[in-house]
Chains A and B, each alone.
Chain A
Amino acid sequence: MTDDEAVLRCQDGDREAFRHLVEQYKNPLYGTAYLMTGNAAQAEEHVQEAFLLAWRGIKSFQRGRPVKPWLMRILVNAVLAQQRKRSLTTVPLEETLPVGAPSSGADSIEASEDREAVRQALAQLTPEHRQVVVLRYFADLTVPQVARSAGVREGTVKSRLHRALRQMRELLEQSGVMEVAGNGA
């Protein structure tokens, strides 16, 4: 079943078709939510919330449009709403940083160390920077889609990506995972 067919059937109230969409996109949504929140329970809650809202809005979704960015925007808004609430409390920012997913244990030590270093570098980004990095390189959205999902301008996305990548490079260079780049890298 294509997404388009699934959407059409969903609009007729077909639960199975909606289940198809859920199965299709639950992982990228969950991964994004997890990378943004660092908390598995919260990530699942956000994903469920996003799918509930998607079901509610499916009848007005225009068939033929990509489903994933639409779902991603709903998800990001749910996560941001929660983060805004949290930012009003005194919870230190560090506590909300993702600490990395459980290791599958199948990597070599070197690869494992590399992954851990990248995780740590990601964790040191500001939430705004981490968000655009995750949406761009994990969720694989285009820059305009990231802008819409994050609710910021394209230029802001680009500058955040630029700064985030620069910061991550510096951190990974410091940890020896990446070689110090020369001009024109």
Chain B
Amino acid sequence: MARNDMPDQEMERKLREHFAEEAPDLQAPDDLWDRLEERLGKQDPPRFALLRGGASAIGSMPWIPAAAAAVLVVGLGVGAWALAGGTGDSGDDDDDGGAVAASSDEQVEPVREAATQAAATEAAAYEAAATEAAAAQEAAATAAAAARAVERDTSEEATPEAVSTPEPTPEPTPARAQATQPAESETPAPESSEAREPADDAGADVEQAEEPAEPEDMADEAMDDDMADADMDDMAMDDMGDDMAAEAEEPAEAEEEKAGQPQRPSDTTFEDYERTAFVSTDVDAVSTFSLDTDRTSYFLALTWVSNGYPVEPDSVRAEEWINAFDYGYAGPDGDDRFAIISDLVRHPLDGEWHLARIAMQAPDVRDDRPLNVTLVLDASGSMSWGDRVAIAREAAETIRQSLSARDRIAVVHFTTGVLDRYTVKHSAPDNEDVVWSIERLAAHDSTNVQAGLNLGVQLADEARRERPDAYNYIILMSDGVANVDATDPFAILEGAPDTDSRNPLRLITIGVGIDNYNDVLLEQLAQHGNGWYRYLDDTAQARETFSRENWLALSTPFADQARAQVTWDPAVVKEWRIVGYENRITPDHTFTQNRREFAELPAGTATTVFYELVLHEGVSLSAVLGNVEVRWVDPATGDSVSQTASVSGSTDTPFDDADRFLRLGAIVGLAADRYSSLSPQVENAEVDYAGIHAELAALQGRFESLKGRLGSSQAYLDFSSLLDELTAAAAELAPPSGYSQ
């Protein structure tokens, strides 16, 4: 037992002794400094301009010229792009094994009404000064807003009149465009969030916004506070090292940019999850991950590009790109609860590798249990930007209208605290107070997500007790920029615990906005709050996403705490690597445990995962590669359920011979996966820009070959534009000579 659980102390001692003996022979050359000094040149260390936290890797890229005037159509079916017209269509000659029920090409359309955005912006260049403003990252905004919130009497509430006449602030436009506006336009420029309160900043002009000194000072102060409060253990130290190292790239790029380079939206928060590597089956043949049907990352990317911004690599989660498309999988047969589909094709980027696709399709069932819905609406100042309030209001109203008479709905508005006057406890959907409260949503003050959720959970819990037969949804609509009370997703969830796991509260997060947007908070709240996460770009999307038809599916939970475990046969598979799912991977031993962080899957949704595989030589043509087991909790009964299927396929299927949906998904997934690796996890040096660009370009070629089959679909056109942008961004970064030179 001891040898299994304890480090082999004798072996450890032996190794330490060995290395101590070896150390004298492992000396760096004496003249290393001399050679290093030559390479250092005459440059001083780059000037510090970015804060830790928030967006560690943001700004590490010199941004591509946003010359592409992308015209994108963004839409959501039951959240996903539909490539096939319906599930009942027969497959065509392009399908393999009947795994995918596809329509004819002529029928390929997005499920929902598309909202066309002409984003033919002039967005060619952004001034360096605005980069400085952007450098005052979340820490500055958070610290300053928190400080102001302390000063301000939190009991102070806006009058109904003030609330009812909000002055929407435009989403920030590129700095060059602002600079060319007449002075009297007084368009508020991107600043830290506390400066966006309408009353204070109605007259803020561009010059003020672009003054670099103040944001930097604020940034430094905020950082110092942050540092002073932090618990500096080893891990925190390492994180700091990483953040600092990554951020160190920013000022250098800012120096180089000056003029002519676009910048990113400011105050955005994304997380750079560590990329997975190939794993030898000799070491570990088991892959465990939470299923996922979020697709926000993909729609965020479309929105960014359509607004003239390059896609932030940290925002790219490959699994959400893959799952943003509806591949039209056939539903389950017989007693199967999921339809589990597997395929194997040769890898599109490496002739020696293979690509396995495993898909798990939930049946499109309906459940007649009533719903308790609690809307938690962000009424903070940052919501005044663009159409955020309008989008949130539209989504809230659409949800209300989609509910049946048996359902109940409550409304909570929060800013610095909860706005009590707008709180409506669970009532019938047509209740006048509910309608009134949703109509009154407006933006002002700071953001206390904690306060809003606390009350939301309290109300939802009360409703659950009164109606134990209902499903319970808490729907948070926000830009995610929490800056009062708890601002960390885990702290927020701990502050508003759900104490009944038998009939859990399901936290759905709805994100709105571009600048000043916290993707991490909203994504993590949903992931760990028993729910899912969506992004809304405009009011039309809000209406469509929560249309009655879509809502019926979205609000019918099919599987709670759903996760999968793939066990590869070491005799067949030599090495494996999962594409994406970095923040969904979970230790193998947790697979048998029911955990809140595992996925909650609405009815009719599918999860698709791709694995890059290196097979052993001489594997037979028709190979069983391993098996996949899916486990979940049945929401209706609370029972734990398991289902297993083998993973198999032909080892000799050329990529171009695979069914077109598989090819599309593979290209989408691999492109996202490669692009996300543009973001250095620590240092730029490890990023093989040229290699990534080459792979993206190769994927472009593969995608082009799908045009004849899918080219008429809006989904194809959208991703085509996006892939062009990604490839162009990588091309900009690819150095003339490689890293090793």
Complexed CA–CA distance, A77 and B53 (Å):
21
Q: Which residue of A lies closest to B32 (CB)?
A: A26
A115, B18: Cβ atoms closer than 8 Å: yes
A residues in contact with B240, CB < 8 Å: 62, 65
B421: interface (CB < 8 Å): no
Task: From known contacts A10-B45, A48-B39, A61-B241, infer whether A101 and B11 are also in contact, taking CB-CB under 8 Å.
Answer: no
A172: interface (CB < 8 Å): yes
A175: interface (CB < 8 Å): no
A148, B18: Cβ atoms closer than 8 Å: no
Q: Which residue of A lies closest to B44 (CB)?
A: A13
A92: interface (CB < 8 Å): no
Counting chain A CB atoms within 10 Å of each CB, the highest count among B28, B278, B686, B739 belongs to: B28
Complexed CA–CA distance, A165 and B11 (Å):
6
**Stretch in contact with the other chain, from B19-27, B107-115, B446-454, B648-656:** B19-27
B residues in contact with A52, CB < 8 Å: 36, 39-40
Instruction: Write out, one digit per residue, whether chain A residues 131-172 have a CB within 8 A of any chain B CB (1) or not (0).
Output: 001000110001011001101110100011111011011001
B245, A27: Cβ atoms closer than 8 Å: no
In B46-105, which residues have CB < 8 Å from any A CB? 46-48, 50, 52
B238: interface (CB < 8 Å): yes
Task: From known contacts A27-B28, A60-B244, A77-B685, infer whether A133 and B15 are also in contact, taking CB-CB under 8 Å.
Answer: yes
Complexed CA–CA distance, A163 and B282 (Å):
11
B161: interface (CB < 8 Å): no
Instruction: Write out, one digit per residue, whether chain B residues 229-250 have a CB within 8 A of any chain A CB (1) or not (0).
Output: 0001111011111111101110
A48, B37: Cβ atoms closer than 8 Å: no
B147 CB, nearest partner CB in chain A, Å: 22
**Which of B11, B21, B242, B682 lies in contact with A115, CB distance below 8 A?**
B21
Q: Which residue of B lies closest to A134 (CB)?
A: B19
B residues in contact with A74, CB < 8 Å: 245, 682-683, 685
Complexed CA–CA distance, A152 and B739 (Å):
23
B283: interface (CB < 8 Å): yes
Instruction: Write out, one digit per residue, whether chain B residues 296-312 have a CB within 8 A of any chain A CB (1) or not (0).
Output: 00000000000000000
B522 CB, nearest partner CB in chain A, Å: 24
A residues in contact with B284, CB < 8 Å: 159
B204: interface (CB < 8 Å): no
Complexed CA–CA distance, A163 and B8 (Å):
10
Q: Which residue of A lies closest to B19 (CB)?
A: A138
B248, A49: Cβ atoms closer than 8 Å: no
**Which of B33, B39, B682 lies in contact with A77, CB distance below 8 A?**
B682
**Which of B15, B244, B248, B587 lies in contact with A118, CB distance below 8 A?**
B15
B residues in contact with A34, CB < 8 Å: 26
In A64-117, which residues have CB < 8 Å from any B CB? 64-66, 69-70, 73-74, 77-78, 80-82, 84-85, 87-88, 101-104, 107, 111, 114-115
Task: From known contacts A58-B45, A77-B682, A151-B274, infer whether A118 and B18 are also in contact, taking CB-CB under 8 Å.
Answer: yes
A22, B19: Cβ atoms closer than 8 Å: no
B199: interface (CB < 8 Å): no
In B1-34, which residues have CB < 8 Å from any A CB? 2-3, 7-12, 14-16, 18-19, 21-29, 32-33
**27 contacts across the A-B interface (CB closer than 8 A):** A13-B45, A19-B37, A31-B23, A44-B29, A51-B36, A57-B248, A57-B249, A60-B244, A62-B52, A66-B237, A77-B686, A81-B688, A81-B739, A82-B740, A103-B25, A114-B18, A115-B22, A118-B14, A128-B283, A142-B234, A144-B238, A148-B241, A155-B587, A162-B8, A163-B283, A165-B11, A165-B15
- Please give the residue numbers on chain A whose beta carbons come within 8 Å of chain B beta carbons, in ascending order: 10-11, 13, 15, 19, 22-23, 26-27, 29-31, 34-35, 44-45, 47-49, 51-62, 64-66, 69-70, 73-74, 77-78, 80-82, 84-85, 87-88, 101-104, 107, 111, 114-115, 118, 126, 128-129, 133, 137-138, 142, 144-145, 148-149, 151-153, 155, 159-163, 165-166, 168-169, 172, 178, 181, 183-185
Q: Give 4 nearest A-B pairs by CB, closest first.
A: A57-B248, A31-B26, A30-B28, A70-B241
- Please give the residue numbers on chain B whose beta carbons come within 8 Å of chain A beta carbons, in ascending order: 2-3, 7-12, 14-16, 18-19, 21-29, 32-33, 35-37, 39-40, 44-48, 50, 52, 227, 232-235, 237-245, 247-249, 251-252, 274-275, 277-278, 280, 282-284, 350, 587, 681-688, 691, 739-740
Besides A30-B28, A56-B45, A107-B21, 16 more A-B contacts (Cβ < 8 Å) are A22-B33, A59-B48, A62-B240, A65-B240, A69-B238, A74-B683, A77-B681, A77-B686, A84-B688, A101-B26, A118-B15, A137-B16, A138-B23, A151-B275, A178-B11, A183-B2
